Structure formats: C-alpha cells, structure tokens
Structure 1
Amino acid sequence: MTLPPTSRRGLLRHGICAVALAACLTTAATVQPTTASAGDADPGPSAPQARPRGVPDLELPNLLRDGSGQGKAGDHSGPGFPGGPGYQGVNGIPATALDAYQKAEQALAASQPQCHLPWQLIAGIGRVESVHASGYGLRADGTTAMPIRGPRLDGGQFALIRDTDGGRWDGDAAYDRAVGPLQFIPSTWATWGADGNHDNTKDPNNLYDAALGTGRYLCAGERDLSDPADLDRAVLSYNNSRAYVTAVLQWMRTYRSNGAAKLPDNLPTTPHRPDPTARLPRPGGPADTAVRTTPAPAGRRSLTTAPRPVPPGAPAHLRPQPPALRPAAKPQPTPARRALARLDRIGPEEIKAQTERTLRPLQQIVARDVHGTPIPGIDLRLALTGDAAVRFLGPAARPMADASLAVTVRTNHQGIANVPAFTTGTSPGTATLRATAPGAPGPAVTFTITVRPAATPAADCLIPLDAAEITVPVDTAATSPLRIKATQDRTPAAGARVEAVILSSAGGSTPTEDGPYFEDRQHRRLRTLVLPPADAEGVIPLPALHAGRRPGSYLLRLTTPAGVRLDIPVTVTAEPAAPVHPAPAAFGANAA
C-alpha cells in the first residue's frame, strides 16, 4: 500500500532493530503457476498497484538484545516462542502464511528460474501489507474469517481508481479497493492472479493464491531479483514509496538472516487496518465466514442475483415472499486488545545514581505483541527490591512509603512507558527495578539501580572574607564574623567541605591543647572541626573562636579534602578586653 502524501512521514516508525531465531523449514511440493503472456505489461512505479491505496505497516524489525533465541520451526515451547527463553517474536510468521510464501518461491523457481525470487521478499510484503493476515482469522486453506480490504479509492485521501471488477473481489461496484492479505488492486489481479492451492480459482483473498500472484508480479519483465536494481524496481512497482521499499527490504533481510519462527495461525492479535476508517468485526461475528467469492456473469455489475420470473398460477411456495424483518443489529464490540508477548527496554540496563538524590531516568519500556508491534494502553507494574533505599516519587513529588515500592504506568500511543522518577537514600547499594504486565505471565524486563556515594564538590582556592589574621584577648571570643569562600576555577564551589584545625604555634603541625578553641552545642571544646558545606555562593561561616586563658601565637589552618590550605594567624593577648559601656539614651527633639 502506498502512503498518502500527507502521512508518509508520520507512518514511518523506527524500532530498535532485532535478531530472532533460526528456523529450519521443510520444503513442500512445487506448485506450477500459470505464467503471464508475452503481451502482458511490465509493471512499473506508475502501475495501478503502485499508487496510493491504503496505509501499510511501516514499522521496521527490531534487533534482538542478547541474541539468545535459537528456536526451531514447529517447536512452540522452546526458545523463541511465547513462554520460551529468549522469545522475541519479531520474525514470527503464522504457519499457513509461511507455507504459502515458501510454496510461491518453489513455484517461481520452476517456472521463472531467472527471477531468483526469495520467499522472504513475499514475506516482507505480507508483513507490511497485513502483518501476514494476523488477527483476521487465518485458516489452514489460506482463507481468512474476515475480509482484508483497503480504503475506497475514490480520489480523496488515496488514489482514484474506478471499479474494474464489478465488485467481485472488493464488494464495491463503483470504485476499486485493494483486497486480500497482499492487498491487490482488482485490475492488477486480473493480469497477475494465480491459483496457488490448485482449487481452480484465482482468489486474491486466499493467501496461497495471493502469494503466488505477488511472486509473478515481482518477476514481471524478466527481472532478476538477485540484482539490487531489479529488486528495487520490483518493490517500487508494488508500491511507489521509498519508505515502503525500505520496510519491505528490511523485513526480507531479517527473515533471510534470522529465519522465521512458525507461529500458530490463531495467535491472538489485533489486525492491522489498511483502511484507517474501517471498523474491524471480531471473529465469531456476522463476518466470520470464509472469504471466498464466485465469478459474476459477464456484463453484470451487481453482486445480487435477479429473481427468476414466476409463471401465473404457480403454487404459493414458489411465489416471491415478502422479506422477513430482521432484528436490529447489535453493536459490535471493539476489537480485543493485542496480546502482550514481550517487554523491551530502551536505554542501558544499569541506572547509575548518587546518594541523597532525585533522579528522573531516561530509560523506557516498550510493550510488543507477537509480531514485535508496540501495544499502546498497556498497564505495567514496576516494583523495587534490593538493599539500596530507593523509593519512587509519589504524586506530591515526595518519596513513597517503605511499604509501597511499586507503581503502575501505562504505555503511550507508541507502546512506550517511561521509568518514573525516584529518590535515593543516604547509603550506597544496589536495587532491582522489575517491570511486568499484571495478568500476563512471562513478559518482564529489569533494570539495575546502582547507588554510589555522592561526589564531594572540589575547591581549588580558599579566600578569607573578613580578616587575614585574628587578635583576641584571653577569656573572650572573637567578636568579628569569621567567613571564608571556596572556589573552583574562580567560581563558587557550592557544597565544598573544609576542615578547621587550631595549631599550637605558627608552623606547628599538632593541635593545641590549651589555646583557642571552638564549642559545640554541648559546650565541649573542639580544636579540630569539620565545617558545614559551602552555600550556593561558596561561603562557609566559622563558629565563634574562643581565646582560652593562655596568651600566645597560634594558627587556624583550613584544609580541603584535596589538600588546598589556608592559614590564618591567631594572636591571644594577655590583657583582657575593656568593658564596653552603652552610651546614654538621647532625649528631646534634637536627639540623634
């Protein structure tokens, strides 16, 4: 399907690219096709099939994170399948679709060996056009329980293609629609249609027929698909969109290099809709019948059969009866949500944090179905375990209580959920963040949160702000404020730590035992003290310095953990400070 001009960019969605599982598939009997005559047109980028005719699924395959999937075809319990280790689902193809693609390759290898058609190319188109008919009730004979139809090609959002089949295949006698799992335009099918299952009917709604018809169309004009130029022209003739070619060829390479995991036909999933305005009925509803049409008589444009004339005097049971009143149709429920097959992480597995911090990680989680397509609106439960005191932030941006270490997040329209913000405690350690889907056993993804001690801000310079030296009489405390400023590269070093030591004499290296001192809250004398961290301006205030009772010369040494040092001389004089008497209060109108 070709993208409409207004939506080509928005529909190109890139994923994390993935490796899946090697699959050993047995070959089936060769099907002999009917080849096109020499007069058939060589389709190109301007062919009706290549015109904008619906919305393809242009998501690219994803790379397997650890490359552990090693399942074998037909094994639905081992690695690479739901419930098995290493399951990824990116290269999964329903069993009937896989058989149809491979038989088409075998048939073309016999009838047009120069084409070198790989089944993976047909599978790439089937993946982009209808996700291999998944969710439409694919059956073992190649039919589907529900029709797969593109939008009405009336020249609105898509191409203008008036009816060419009398509504035989698409149910529309006014305009054409692309039909079937490979989305053929009816006029294209009229030329390139094939009978891939030998039931004497060429039906684009049947996957075996459609796969063989796709192979014949791609091989038209004596193309050699082992030639990259011919391969590019062939896919452009199917849909003249560079984004379409990129997606198809990427899926082809994925199936070719990693094999295909054979999935059950009835694996639950929501169908891809080539017609964005269509409502899809659910299997089991009124449309749950095999899509198989019969040829209409020549010249007839209606799908209904005209009643036969009844001769006069015919018995009552042969006369036309009035139509029976049908009960009002019940509203159809919305399609069931796609089954979750796996969770993938976006970003590193390890989340690094420091103690006493609030962190908003960039890591995300993607919910995917069995085909690797993201699923929006899935609730995921995220739980924390481990020895680090990590807590999710609550609605009020406060750490949640210890008893509640789990939160629920929902995937957005792209199937992605963000890992929420959390806080760390005062102690380093590790924690595990595990994401699961409630009620969906198996799929899970984990992150490791490593909490390390917070780095101490560094300072390469200490500057005295109030005095380069201090003089204080015995038995008193310094009256002027004592402050220093810590800087790093001439800018304030907020949070820098400094240790203060009072030495016995200038040039000494041991703290004094009876000289100046600081006091703590319990009035204990301290001559070694770790000062509070610098504020946002890099300023560190020192507590009051008490002179003690022994006069002399001392040294206040301030040192950072990195060894940066500032020495401030301290002199304790023998004369006590003179008492300070307050001035008498002034009275009167002229008082200053």
Structure 2
Amino acid sequence: MKILRTRAASVSRQGLCTALLVASLTTAAVGASPPHNAADAGDPAPGPGNPQRLPHGSPNLALPDLVPPPGTPGAPGPGTPDSGPDKATGIPATALAAYKNAEKLAKEQWPDCHVPWELIAAIGKVESDHGGMGGGLRTDGSTGKPIIGPPLTGEKFALVRDTDGGRYDGDRQFDHAVGPMQFIPSTWQAYAADGRGAGQKDPNNIFDAAAGTARYLCAGGLDLSKQEDVDKAVLRYNSSGDYLKTVLAWMRTYRNGGGGAVPNPPVSSLPPAGGTTLPPLPTTPSVPTVPATPGTPGTTTPTRPTPGNTTPSTPKPKPKPEPDRNKPGDKDKPGKDKPKPPAEAVGLEADGEQRLSAEPGMTFEVQPRVRAVTKDGQPAPKARVRFDIVGKTDALFRNGTRTYYATTGSKGLASTQKIKAGKETGDFTVLATLEGRHSAPVEFTATVKTPPAPPHADAIVRIDETDLKTAPGASFGAPVIVQATTKSGRAVVGQRIKATILANDKPTQAGPFFEDKKNGGTPRTVDLPATGQDGKTTLPRLFADRQEGTFTLSLTTEDGVALTLDLIVDAKFGKTGDTGKTGDKAKDGKKSDGKKGKDTKGRQDHATPSPSPRATRPTE
C-alpha cells in the first residue's frame, strides 16, 4: 500500500516518479458498470484469505501535528492570517469532495453502517497523501499519474500473485496495490464502486476509490458508530496495530476541524483530463524502456572505446593471498573463522491450534504460539514477536495488558502468556506480528463462550427405601443415595444439591450429623457432589449424637426443588456403647432380658421399610 513512510519522505517524491514508470505505461483501468451500487447493499465481510489486510507497501505512519482545534485556547481566531485550514492537516479540495460524497452514497446504500467521511479521509491520508503520490489531483478526481505500489513478490511484502491479468497494475505475474486508496486488484473487483455516477468504476479516480473504500469498510454489516467495528474495519486495510493507531489519530484530527479544504496541488504536466477508458489486456507483459542517459539522445547502450584513443593503464599488482590460519589442530587458536550469524526471520506461521475458547472469567487453556521462519523455511531463533488482543473484549494477558512481546527460542517458537477471559462473551482476535518486518500476521480466533445453563431438575428421589432410624450415638446405616430427575424421569447430570439437618424445621446444633473424615467435625449442612451421568449423588454417612427425637433431612437444589426425609433417634432401636456404636448382638441372634431360662427375640436396628418419599418443584 503506501510508498511514503513519514511526512518528511514526501521531499523525495521526485525520486519515486522513476519507480512509477511502469504504472505510467498504462492508463487508468476502468470497467463499465451501472451508475450506482444499489445492488451492492449487504456485502459479505472479506474472507480470511483476503489479501488487502496483508502488508503490501509502506504506509505513511507519521502522526498528525498537535494543532489546537478551532475555538480552543491557542487556536487561530477567525479573520486572522492563519485562520484558514492548516496546510499540514488540510485536505485538497477534490479529495475532500470525494470523501464527503462517499459518506453521502454510503448513507443511501448502507444506512446502518454510519461510515464518517473523516475515516475515509484518514485512510486516504495514510495510503497516498490524498492522491499526492500520483502527482496531484485533477478536478474530475483522476490523478496526475497512476499510483501503483510495489510488486507483491513475497520478499519484502506479502506474496499475492496476479489476479487481474495486469488490467489495473500492468503486471501479469504479481499484484500491486493501486489508486489513491491503494486497493489490491482482487479486492477492488469485489468492492468496486461508481462514486461519480459516470457508469465506470476506476480505482485510480478518487471519487470511485473513496466510494469503494466506504463499501469495503461497511461490508459484513459493520456499524461504524461503534468503536469496535471501526477497529475491525480499519484492520481490514492493514492488520498492523501501528496502522490502526495512525488512521484513528488522523480521523480524530479531521473531526476536530483539522480537515478543511486546501487548494489542489499543481498536477504534473501530463495530458489534460478527458475521461479514462479501460485498456485492452496486453498479450505480453509490458517492459519499461530504460531512459536514455542525459546528453546521449537516442540510445542507452554504452559505446565501446575505439582502439588507440586511450592509454593502457598500468595493471595493479595482485594482492598476496592471506595465509591459512586454520590448519588442522588449530581449531582453538585465535584467527579461526567466526560462526555465521543465524539467518534472519522473514515471516511467521502458526504452530498448533488457532481457535481458542473459554468461559467468562476463566483462563484459556490454549496459548497462541507461532514459529518464526527464514527465507528457506527454517526456524529462526531470537526473533521478536508481538501479540495483540484485538476486538471488543475485556480479555487480557496475564500481565494485565492487551499487548505481549516474546522472543523465539532455538526452534523458532514463541507463545503468549496465559490469556484470561473477561465478563464479555463473543469473539476477538489475537494477532501475532514479526517486529521489524512487513510480513503477514498470524491470526488466532478466541471465543468467550456463554456458560451453559445450570442443570434443571424437577424432582429429587431417594434410591433405597430403608427408614432412617437409629439409637443415640449410633450410625444410620448405609449412606443415603438420591437421584435428580426431570418430570419424565430422565436423569439430570451436574445437579448441585445441599443437605441440611433440621429440628422443628430450623437448622440445629444438636442431633444427627454428617461424617467428616477430613476434619473430624459434626457438620449438619453439606454441599453434595454434583450428580453424575446417572443423575445420582451419595450423602456422607449419617450419625446420631446423644440427642433423641425426630429430625428432618432436607435436600434442596438452587432453584427450589426439595426432598425431606425423617431421621428418628430413639434408644429402643438399639443399645449404645461407650464408643457411640450400636451394641453387639448375641451370636445366636437372641438377647437376654435378664430373667433366667427365658429368651426374647432381639429387636432389629431398623424398622420395617416404608415407601420412599418423592419430591417435586413446589407449586406457587
């Protein structure tokens, strides 16, 4: 995209003209089209393979000067010599008209997008200095020269092979970004717009290009009145965090009154504007002619010297060969060859999963990881990688920020810190970029999932039917097992149940208690383990203290489903020893009543079983 790096670089614009000679060989590429774009409403968002967001040039990342907004202290007042638009932040009149016209068209065609002209202007500033890279603008919106970026060969910038047959950029091997808004040809073909109502869509005309930018930014149903959608839209143009920062800074400057119209700069001495037409596809790639050397008209081939017109020069003595300092056995001696530095990293590739998920407040189990590679595809150690959390989210790295830097190890790998999800649900992106290189970023899609609804039981039932009766100081027998079910009797998995001992329908500090193996206490309220796949959970064993009477075991879920069971403690249900356990029976199954020669049948520890009680959700 973009040829200038800073505003100071605009001084070298004349030197860049030579680099644009290939572009000047073709006229502006225009396609016949309907006069407007009503059928373009509801464009899908660019797909993950969209090359527009990949590095395809050097954007002008110079931030705007800190000019006070009009009406603030220090700003020039009306009527003063300096009260007009500031030259550093002003916009050429034709470009400003194009940006405002694009906003107007967007309101008509994509009314829910709310794209502001200031955003379109900010991108035009960063991409081509409002068309200034093309030698200035004519009043009809055409540029003095076509603005064509560098070939996307995969060396310095992304690799994008030709998609237009050279129609827009004159190159049938690789694509170039084109026009004042620097569209990749395939992107322009998908989101082209007619900003003039002339029946043409020309990426080299700023009216059409600005309208196409509005269409591209609005695609996918974005609402640019929301900051998170603005960020998402700008990152479609260039996925660099610095690019986003610069565009937003210029947009704020223009909103604060720094984007007034200034006269169009003089257009280069090229043929006058008279409309542009689409050139036929070339049958062979165009090859630029090397300009003749000044003062040697008509040829660029150097002439050979004729015999006799020069004096032979004295040959220089051959340098003596350096002695071999690395003889066998001298490996550890000074003078041996130094090891070659590791090859430089030229790009990143994902290593492992690229989709992450977690519930609100939880830590993502997967950490984004990338591998830095050299030109030969080998791992590149000691490369610096930047990870950014991008999008509408309150997720953060463990260091409490949205940015984390890592250096690759010996295998070229670098990963982020743990990422903790916030309260907001939805998708966001973790972007990995290679510091100091214009290489394609690696994207990781992270999702904060809405937690599943808690299990919903309609009834709690007891599995066994034995009455819960025992003597003071004794056990109630086998642990109680209950099951959570729906109305249809289907088991509910993951249901949480609380068990409480009550006396006269109130919590009690005396009477039965639950076994506490860990602490040795006598708890009378416990949270049971969540029900398993069969909907069942088991209570801790129940014991009675010395208090006799009838008590209640209450089992309840969070949403009010309850089951109550009677707990009866009475000495008649068995003898109690000093250890608190039921007295032992005689071996023959009979007990002595203290009278000689008479035996009575021993009592059972538990009464006759009764039907198991069931419980359902209380009626209102």
- Place the TM-score, normalised by the shorter chain, in its bin: 0.3 to 0.5
TM-score by length of 2: 0.39
TM-score by length of 1: 0.40
